[in-house]
Structure 1
Amino acid sequence: MSDALEKAEAAAREAAQNSVDIAQIVAVVLATQQATQQQPTQPPAPRREFDARKWIVVGSVAVPVALAGALFALAITITACAGTGCFLILRSIWRETQKGR
């Protein structure tokens, strides 16, 4: 009977130790959850004020560049049309002079 009593005592001690371990695990999990919930939130980054001077500079640079680009494209178009007209006229003159030979 003393064997059975010793086994029961050992089982009771082991169960008590297991319940202490489980209590410690639960305490760690709860502490971790509270720590993650209590982290302070950072305030949002301050917004920079609207800087009108920056946009005036952008506009005063972008508009002339865009106008210069448009005028350049127009000049290329006019040159291409004039060149085509010249070549057509010269071709017709060349054909007439070749017929006359």
Structure 2
Amino acid sequence: MSDIERAARDAVEAAHNSEQLALIAAVLQAQQLTQRQGCQHPPAPVQQPNTGKWIAVGVAAPFLAVTLAISVMAFAIAAVSLTICVLVLRGVWQDFQKGKG
């Protein structure tokens, strides 16, 4: 048998082997696809709508807004009262200083 015949026979055998390997790979992929496992983790629990929370927010928000408004008004009244008190005391002090001198 010559080298050319031997090389041709080896080439035919290699082609046949590669066809067999491709067929085996295709069969293995098909088996893996048919035997694919489902999810391993438990399904997520179904969450019920949380309407109670939003009702509480809807009720509490106006009370919070009114409380904040009253606090701001109280602060403004205190600031005006303090200003008036300081001005009156300054006038009294100036009158006292004029009377001494």
TM band (smaller chain): 0.5 to 0.7
CA distance in 2, matches of 1:97, 1:29: 106
The separation in 1 between residues aligned to 2:14 and 2:85, in whole angstroms, is 108
Q: Give SS of 2:8's match.
A: helix
User: What is the CA–CA distance in structure 2 between the aligned matches of 1:55 and 1:15, rounded to whole Å?
Assistant: 71
**Partner of 1:10 in structure 2?**
10
Write the distance in 1 (CA, Å) between the matches of 2:85 and 2:23.
99
Q: What residue number does 1:76 align with?
A: 75
Residues 1-101 of structure 1 correspond to what in structure 2 (within 5 A)? 1-25=1-25, 48-49=48-49, 51=51, 54-100=53-99, 101=101
TM-score by length of 2: 0.60
How far, CA to CA, are the matches of 1:27 and 1:79 in structure 2? 87
State the alpha-carbon separation in 1 of the partners of residues 47 and 88 from structure 2.
Answer: 65
Instruction: Please give the alpha-carbon distance, in whole angstroms, between the structure 1 residues aligned to 2:3 and 2:55.
Output: 96
Q: How far off its partner does 1:9 sit?
A: 0.9
CA RMSD of aligned residues (A): 3.6
1:18 shift after superposition: 2.0
* Structure 1 gap segments, 5+ residues each: 34-44
TM-score by length of 1: 0.60
Alpha-carbon offset, residue 68 of structure 1: 1.8
Question: In the aligned structure 2, how far is the partner of 1:55 from the partner of 1:5?
Answer: 86
SS in 2 for 1:76: helix
